[in-house]
Copies of this chain bind each other. A is one copy, B any other.
């Protein structure tokens, strides 16, 4: 697409930034629909979502662009969706279902605390991978944080 066409649709840079961030967030319901079709138990759904999100951060230009803009939000004069909150609610709900099915260790953190740890660990891993290795190592790195956090949860 020519630069002129982009500015026809998005006369202000800020409008373009908001559109990229919203397109980024629109990826997650699509991925959830794919994962839901597999009818996994709730904890496996959570893991599958995080694994596919990691691949999207590694491979999708829109997801990378939205994430970069979210990082730069203090410098951009636009209203973006608040990051982290929806993912945390989503994972909290899946972990609460897992607990109610007796599939979480008795000494594990409550669902909301465990969900916050998963979100923070996932975000930190992809940011460090982005800064140090342009995300090329994200496939290996994500299991380094995912596996110990899951070990603290699984019965």
A residues adjacent to B (C-beta < 8 A): 68, 71-75, 82-85, 108-109, 113-114, 116-117, 119-125, 127-128, 131-132, 141, 144-145, 147-149, 151-153
Contact = CB atoms under 8 A, between A and B. Distances in A.
Contact of A124 (B82, B127, B132, B144): B127
Indicate the member of A109, A131, A148, A153 with the most B CB atoms within 10 Å.
A148
A116 B131 contact: no
A144 B73 CA distance: 26
Give chain A's interface secondary structure class. Answer: helix
Contact of A128 (B116, B149, B153): B116
A146 to B, nearest CB: 9
A109 to B, nearest CB: 6
Contacts of A113: 144
B131 A125 contact: no
Nearest to A149: B148
B149 A149 contact: yes
Q: Which 9 A-B pairs have the closest CB atoms?
A: A124-B124, A148-B152, A120-B124, A120-B125, A123-B124, A117-B145, A121-B121, A113-B144, A117-B144
Indicate the member of A73, A108, A132 with the most B CB atoms within 10 Å.
A132
A153 B82 CA distance: 34
B75 A148 contact: no
A128 B121 contact: no
Contact of A148 (B84, B122, B148): B148
Given A75-B75, A123-B124, 11 more contacts: A68-B74, A73-B131, A83-B131, A84-B131, A117-B121, A119-B124, A120-B128, A120-B145, A123-B128, A145-B149, A148-B148
